[in-house]
Amino acid sequence: MTIKVGINGFGRIGRIVFRAAQERSDIEIVAINDLLDADYMAYMLKYDSTHGRFNGTVEVKDGHLIVNGKKIRVTAERDPANLKWDEVGVDVVAEATGIFLTDETARKHITAGAKKVVLTGPSKDNTPMFVKGANFDKYEGQDIVSNASCTTNCLAPLAKVINDNFGIIE
């Protein structure tokens, strides 16, 4: 089964999510929302100063991104409630703007038709955070989750190993 993903925010993290998805046959990016012009989005995807040139074809046609021959809807909507994710069958939204970091604000993606939302930064409320290698086994199907921060993703797995084997005193 292919998971259809929408990306809200096509900055550094949004583009990394996009590139990672291109390496998997079970994930399809079907929509991107950002206030950037589609031509600039295509340029930023093609040429990355850290990751190099995109390994594939990228073009803009009729306001859509065409990546490796696949058409991706592009929108420039400020309010996630108006994104109509259901029109393109989005299962999961990668919330990468850094703005909608609470359950209340991220839930607008659910209202717009997405089934689940992953915040790409730490939540600003009690939205659960999961880190692979630390507490990912605690995930119970919540519809809105946070992937925590990059610092947490670096340190938590190591801290878990140390704590499990030796203990950490607060």
Catalytic residues: 150
| Both structure tokens of 42 | 């295509």
Please tell me the distance from the alpha carbon of residue 6 to that of residue 101, in angstroms, as a whole number: 16
Burial class (CB in 10 A: 0-12, 13-18, 19+), 112: buried
Any idea what DSSP says for residue 2?
A: P
> Which phi-psi region, left, alpha or beta, contains residue 136 (left: φ > 0; alpha: ψ -120 to 50)?
alpha
